[in-house]
Amino acid sequence: EADESISLVDMQTIQRDSTPLYAQDILHWILAVHPEQPRLQAALDLLRSWDGRADRESAGAALFEALRLELIKSTFKDELGEQLLARSGPYLIEALGNLLGQPEAAWFDDVRTPEVEDQEVTILAALTAAVDYLSETLGDDMNAWRWGDLHTATFENQSLGQSGIAPIEWIFNRGPVETDGTIATVNNTGYNLGHPFEVDTTPSYRQIVDLGNFANSLSIHTTGQ
């Protein structure tokens, strides 16, 4: 009979899981577009080879997260405006997944232009913007892009750490620290779409209890013990 027990190592693996499962559905439609520019084709190849994990060393994760952000903006910003777009971010991620696969959906049309844009045009515009942003921010070599160079956490003291006095903030704050994970992963290190890609949500206290041997239990706090 197979051993169906769950070990401490299993639970550690689960708690550290940085795989955004929704990426699989979104990528299906992104990888179906046909850009003419070689650099955009190379970007799609990078996404095809991505293992799907939002690890800090991952070039694919950096591209996917930048592309997802640009795709949300290119789809919804013209209708919602800047402020409502920023406030609606978490809901728009879900809405985007529901819209993809409806190529003629009205949301894909940019109401600011005389043309009527469809899903592919919107995806290509977002892909172009994401590649341009990452090239400017992380350099021209796509393979050298790293999610951790974008996705960092800074732990601020709630009083002196926000004083505005740099030497005092240096003493009381910690970071920026490169971080695995992203929005809606088990290792949930989410960020505000209005302030990408700085972590504003992270697992704080984590604990694994060995019910067969309490002394074998583990716990960890974000910034240490």
pLDDT at 16 (0 to 100): 93
Q: What is the pTM of this model?
A: 0.89
- pLDDT > 80? residue 4: no
Going by pLDDT thresholds of 50, 70 and 90, the confidence category of residue 12 is: very high
Q: Which residue has the tokens 């302030």?
A: 195
Going by pLDDT thresholds of 50, 70 and 90, the confidence category of residue 194 is: confident
| 63-113: pLDDT as tens digits | 999 999 999 999 999 898 888 888 887 678 888 888 888 888 899 988 898
Averaged pLDDT score across all residues of the chain: 90
pLDDT at 157 (0 to 100): 86
pLDDT at 225 (0 to 100): 60
- pLDDT > 70? residue 27: yes
pLDDT at 189 (0 to 100): 93
Within 10 Å of residue 27's Cβ, how many Cβ atoms?
Answer: 20
Q: What is the 3-state secondary structure (H, E, C) of 122-175?
A: HHHHHHHHHHHHHHHHHCCCHHHCCHHHCCEEEECCCCHHHCCCHHHHHHHCEE
| 123-164: pLDDT as tens digits | 999 999 999 999 999 999 999 999 999 999 998 888 888 888
pLDDT at 188 (0 to 100): 93
pLDDT at 117 (0 to 100): 85
Please give the helix or strand (H or E) that residue 219 lies within, else none: strand 218-221
User: Whole-angstrom distance between the N-terminal and C-terminal Cα of the chain?
Assistant: 40
